[in-house]
Structure 1
């Protein structure tokens, strides 16, 4: 029995090590898909249509403007997720007074047993046995990164980073702009894709046709898959929970961090509307909303004493 457990632990560690090794490969894969799409849309199809003039050139101009705008926002959001630390536990972190008194919800308390805490009599203090440090509320240990991450949602191989408190908004915007971009590309290339199944002669070189076909299939696949992830994360934001918390709190009837849809949304995107659709926060929100820093979160019992 002991050997079986040791073997399972070794396999998990090996899997986590393999995920860390995917880093640059996944970034190159994302950039490769972007490159193929750009070549198909701009250089093979709508660039020549724009230069040809006439009514078709106006439609081509509209497509190219929308395409480049969404592409800039997609890449901005993507590299914001990749390059932004999701949030780590500060050195010498100490819990707030209410946590020290043990006033903690069942989900957080169930994450560790008595042997995991420096003080077994105080179940309100969360402690990570792997990092040998105290853990703030909603913090989880990432086996891939090898550290505790503030409000960890999941480790994403596509962004080669953990998704947590400080980059969750950027990840959502990446999903949002990826869905819009791939949907626009799919619709823009659909007439050219349909031509492949016609009986007439297909204009263009073999490389142009192959690139157009590949770009259409890739973008259609990404649009459908990302749409599912986007819907899932919209439901998580509306309940002010993460992927990990949504799984763990199935046995918890009440979720103390659910403040209502509007405030739940602001916990991720901030209160300043002009910043909602860009991967950045206003200085005002960063100053007034501790939740954006990943250490303190307002909850139902103390809503009256919280200020946003």
Structure 2
């Protein structure tokens, strides 16, 4: 009976993951549709025509449209960077010998690799290396298997249906920028359409066709909802970056006060955004940061200098 229930549950989960894979371009089209509706309401229905009014109204409309287009460009750049950037896959035949006390890595010899595989599969006396049974390969530190993508992802944070991709080591910064610019853009749209929304419920006669008024109303509601929800999501990820952890690691309760990857807020920030300030707000990295910060490659992560290897080994490999 219990075996049947377990099989049924596994089957349901598999069907759910398959359905998420099938969303694919539908979610991208949905995002573009929301952007299109917003663009129509803000630019074509309201602030575009206001440019011809003259005086202060024209200046205000120009300022809104200039900021709107800038934020929209940065939003779409960040969004498609997340969509089309591989979050990080385990290199073929990858193996690792990890010294938790020094935070150093070195390849294992073939004989050692076979020994480590047996340790990872059964012997927990020295569980230095994790093993993925689904991919049939060793897993680097902070790597997790994604059931939707069907592979192991480096420093996996979560699978996001909105970007139709996993968020991991190589595109996490781009995802955070996507949240940041989405919040700014939706907040701008909400504030700029607020007078029109208020006028919608007043006795004032509003110029424009019924379709334009309905689109303005819908755009205001959508952007207000997205602004509030993205703000909460963004605050959560700011706390994760400041502690140098991920959504999965926080749910697994690995991030204790002695979390081995917590290097301090400044260094934790650099592990995601790099040190070059010119690149902090664009979805790209400088060549120097890619060369000098191994964590940006997703395979090697520095640990706290005061880390007690013996006390934290079990927490790290769990």
Do the two structures share a fold, i.e. TM-score over 0.5? yes
User: 1:115: Cα distance to partner?
Assistant: 7.9
Cα displacement string for residues 169-209 of structure 1 (whole angstroms, at most 9, x for unaligned residues): 00000000000000000000000111111112221101110
Match of 2:180 among 176, 179, 187: 176
Are 1:276 and 2:277 an aligned pair?
Answer: no
Matches within 5 A, 1:130-141: 130-141=134-145
CA distance 1:60–1:295, change in 2 (3 Å): same
Are 1:46 and 2:50 an aligned pair?
Answer: no
Contact 2:51–2:58 under 8 Å retained in 1:
yes
Residue in 2 that maps onto 1:31? 32
Which structure 2 residue ranges, 5 or more long, are not aligned? 106-116, 308-318
User: 1:98: Cα distance to partner?
Assistant: 2.0
For the residues of structure 2 that align with 1:302 and 1:200, how far apart are their CA atoms?
67
Give the root-mean-square deviation of aligned CA atoms: 2.3
Contact 1:103–1:124 under 8 Å retained in 2:
no
Cα displacement string for residues 140-181 of structure 1 (whole angstroms, at most 9, x for unaligned residues): 000000000000000000000000000000000000000000
Residue in 2 that maps onto 1:129? 133
User: Secondary structure at the residue paired with 1:178?
Assistant: helix
For the residues of structure 1 that align with 2:220 and 2:103, how far apart are their CA atoms?
55
Residue in 2 that maps onto 1:108? none
Residue in 1 that maps onto 2:315? none
User: 1:52: Cα distance to partner?
Assistant: 2.2
Match of 1:230 among 231, 234, 245: 234
What TM-score do the two structures reach when normalised by structure 2?
A: 0.88
For the residues of structure 2 that align with 1:114 and 1:19, how far apart are their CA atoms?
34
Matches within 5 A, 1:140-219: 140-219=144-223
User: 1:122: Cα distance to partner?
Assistant: 3.8
Cα displacement string for residues 218-277 of structure 1 (whole angstroms, at most 9, x for unaligned residues): 000000000000000000000000000011125845210000000000000000001000
Contact 1:46–1:60 under 8 Å retained in 2:
yes
Contact 1:114–1:123 under 8 Å retained in 2:
no
Residue in 1 that maps onto 2:109? none
For the residues of structure 2 that align with 1:115 and 1:283, how far apart are their CA atoms?
38
CA distance 1:121–1:114, change in 2 (3 Å): farther
User: Secondary structure at the residue paired with 1:127?
Assistant: strand
Cα displacement string for residues 273-295 of structure 1 (whole angstroms, at most 9, x for unaligned residues): 01000000000000111100000
User: 1:118: Cα distance to partner?
Assistant: 7.3
User: Secondary structure at the residue paired with 2:99?
Assistant: helix
Q: Which runs of 4+ in 1 moved over 3 A?
A: 101-104, 113-116, 118-122, 250-253
Cα displacement string for residues 70-120 of structure 1 (whole angstroms, at most 9, x for unaligned residues): 000000000000000000000010113426x9999xxxxxxxx98852766
Which structure 1 residue ranges, 5 or more long, are not aligned? 105-112, 304-308
User: 1:4: Cα distance to partner?
Assistant: 0.6
Contact 1:150–1:294 under 8 Å retained in 2:
yes
Residue in 2 that maps onto 1:22? 23
Are 1:56 and 2:60 an aligned pair?
Answer: no
Contact 2:119–2:127 under 8 Å retained in 1:
no
User: 1:30: Cα distance to partner?
Assistant: 0.4
For the residues of structure 2 that align with 1:40 and 1:68, how far apart are their CA atoms?
13
Contact 1:102–1:124 under 8 Å retained in 2:
no
